[in-house]
Structure 1
Amino acid sequence: MTDPLARLVSLEGVASAYAATRDGIDVMLRDRGLRRTTPEQTAESLLRGAQASAALEDSESTLDEVRDGAGDAVARDAVRVSTELLALVPVLRTAPLQAFARLHALAAKGTLADEELGRPRSAEAAGRLRGLSELLLAPTTAPALVVAAIVHADLMTVAPFGSHNGLVARAAERLVMVARGVDEKSLTVPEAGHLTHRAEYESNLRGYASGGQAGIHAWLLYGAEAFAAGAEASPLRA
C-alpha cells in the first residue's frame, strides 16, 4: 500500500524541521517532569488553547475572562470543545469521522439547528471528510506532527461544516498530537503557537488552499515553527 504522506515528508526541509520540533517537545516534556504533571496542568493547557483558538476567530476574550467563565460566545464554544476533547482520543483512532462530527456538535451547539450539528454542509464536503478519515486510518511513516498539520489544514480549507470550522480544525490538530503520542497529556498549546504567528498562519492556509505543492510545502514548514511556539506556551514553562 502506498504511503499517502511519504511524498510530503520528502519535500525539502520538512523532515529535518519536524525532527527538530519533535525533539524540542520531547525535551521540554521530559525535563519538566512529565510523570509529575497534574490534571490541573492539562486543564490549563486546554483552556489556553481554547482562548487562543477563539482569538483566531476574532474573540476579544482574555485568558483571565475565559478562565472565569466570562468569555464571549466564541470563547465559550471553544471551551466547550476543550472540555470533551481528550475523551475523543480513542474515537479518532478508530472512527475519525465520528470524532470530527462530535467536535463540530460541541462547537456549534446553540448556534446551528440540532439536525445540522456534526453534519457536512454538502455531498462534496462529506466526500472530503471521508478522504481525510481514510488518510488517518492508513499506515504512514510520516511524523505524527506532519499528520496533525495536514488534518488541521484540510479541515480549514475544506470547511466541511456549516460553522465553527476553525475551532474544529485546531481541536482536531491537538487531538492527533495526543492520539499519536506526541503529547499524550496534552500539555503543549498548538493553538497559541498559531496565534503567535497569526499573519503567517493565515497566509499559509491561503497557500495550502490553492492546492499546489508549493502551498503545502510552505504550510508544513510553517507548522513546524508553530508547534515549537505551542510548546513554549505550555503551562509547564511557567
Structure 2
Amino acid sequence: MSTNAPDPLAALGTLPGVGDAVDSVRKAVDRVYGHRVMRRRSNEVASEAALRGARGSAALAGADWPLEEVRRRSDFGAEDEARTVGAALRLTAEAGQLLSIWRQSPLRVLARLHLVAAGGAVTRDEAVGRPRVADEKADEPLITAPLPDADEVAARLDGLSRLVIAGSSAPALVMAAVVHGELLALRPFTSYNGLVARTAERIVLVGSGLDPKSICPAEVGHAELGRADYAAAFDGYLSGAPEGMAAWITHCGRAVELGVRESTAVCEALQRGAA
C-alpha cells in the first residue's frame, strides 16, 4: 500500500471500544494457539472448527441443526434447511482454497463462493456466481434493511475490492468486520448472502495471519450471540455512525472470542481422549 494513499479503515481502529476488542481477541487467539494439543493435532482442531463454524453460519441462515445432525448427515439436497447446511459446509471447505486469490481478486473469490454455495440449487442458475442485475432480488430473511439496487451493488463491490487489494493498517478484526458488514448490506447475490459474508469474514481472519490455521470460528460466536443481537449489531454498521460501527466491530470481536472458546473446548476434549 502506498504510504501516500489514504487508509479509510485506520480511523475505525481508534473508535471507542475497538482497541480493547482487538486486544482481547488477540490474547484469546494466542491462548488457544498455545494449547499443547495444537502442537500435534492442529489439523483435527481445524476440521472440528470448520464443522462447527458451518453449523453456526447455517443456524443464522435459519437452519439451526444440532451439531451431531450436521456431522451425521450426508444428503443435503432434500429440503431448504438441508441445502442451507450443505452450502455452509461447502463454503467452509472452499474458503481455505481461496486465500491466495483473495488479496488479488476479491470479486473473483466472492463469485466463486456463491457458485459453491449454490452448488445444489436447481433454480435461478443464470444468477449463480455473479452479482444481482436490475430487477433481481436477494433472498436473505435475517436482514430486512432496504436492498441496494444493482448499480449501487456494482459500485460498492468495486470499492470493497479496491480496499482489500490496497490493504490497510487497521487490525484484522476491523477489516474482517467491514468486509462482513458490507456484504450483508449489499446482499450482492440472489441467494446465500449471509453465508457468503460470514465466509469472507473467515477468509480475512485467516489470510491476515490472525488465525492462520482457521481454528477460531467466528460463525460459532455469531450463532451463540443469537440472530437478534446479530441483526441489531448489523444495524449499527448500516448507520455508518461511529458508535454503530464500533458496536458492529466489537460484536464481531466477541464472536471470534466465542469461537476461540469453542475450539479451546475441542482441544481439552482431545487432550482427555474424549474426541
Query: What is residue 116 of structure 1 aligned with on the other side?
Result: 127
Partner residue, 1:22: 26
Q: Which amino acid aligns with 1:139?
A: G
Q: Give the deviation of 1:210 after TM superposition.
A: 2.6
Residues 149, 220 of structure 1: 8 Å contact kept? yes
SS at match of 1:161: coil
The 2-side partners of 1:17 and 1:42 are apart by 23
Indicate the residue corresponding to 2:7 in structure 1. 3
Aligned residues: 238
**Whole-angstrom CA distance in 1 between matches of 2:38 and 2:154:** 39
2:267 is matched by which residue type in structure 1? L
Q: What does residue range 129-144 of structure 1 map to in structure 2 within 5 Å?
A: 129-144=157-172
Please state which structure has a larger fraction of its residues in helix: 1
Whether the aligned pair in 1 keeps the contact of 2:202 and 2:218 (CA below 8 Å) is yes
> Any idea what SS the aligned residue of 2:180 has?
helix
Kept after mapping to 1: 8 A contact 2:52/2:217: yes
Q: What is the CA RMSD across the aligned residues, in angstroms? A: 1.6
Rounded to whole Å, the distance in 2 between the matches of 1:33 and 1:110 is 36
4+ runs deviating over 4 angstroms: none
Aligned counterparts of 1:216 and 1:228: Cα–Cα separation in 2: 19
Gaps of at least 5 residues in structure 1 are none
206-215 or 52-61: bigger deviation: 206-215
SS in 1 for 2:206: helix
Quote how far apart the aligned CAs of 1:237 are. 4.5
Instruction: Give the residue type in structure 1 aligned to 2:255.
Output: A
TM-score of the pair, normalised by structure 2: 0.81
Q: 2:102 aligns with which of 92, 104, 112?
A: 92
Shift, 1:211, TM fit: 2.9
Deviation at 1:88, TM superposition (A): 0.7
Q: Are 1:107 and 2:117 an aligned pair? A: yes
Give the distance between the partners of 2:251 and 2:84, measured in 1 at CA. 26
Give the greater-gyration-radius structure (CA).
2
SS of 1:94 mapped into structure 2: coil
Please state if 1:169 is matched with 2:197: yes
Work out the CA distance in 1 between the residues paired with 2:103 and 2:41: 24
The percentage of counterpart residues that share the same residue type is 42
Deviations 1:63-106 (A, max 9, x none): 11111125622111111112211001111121111111111111
Q: 1:29 & 1:142 partners in 2: Cα distance?
A: 22
**Equivalent AA in structure 1 for residue 203 of structure 2:** L
Q: Offset of 1:236 from its aligned partner?
A: 2.6
Q: Please name the residue that 1:233 is paired with.
A: 262
The one-letter code matched in structure 1 to 2:57 is S
Once residues 164 and 54 of structure 2 are traced to their aligned partners in structure 1, the CA distance between those partners, rounded to angstroms, is: 24
Aligned partner of 1:205 in structure 2 is: 234
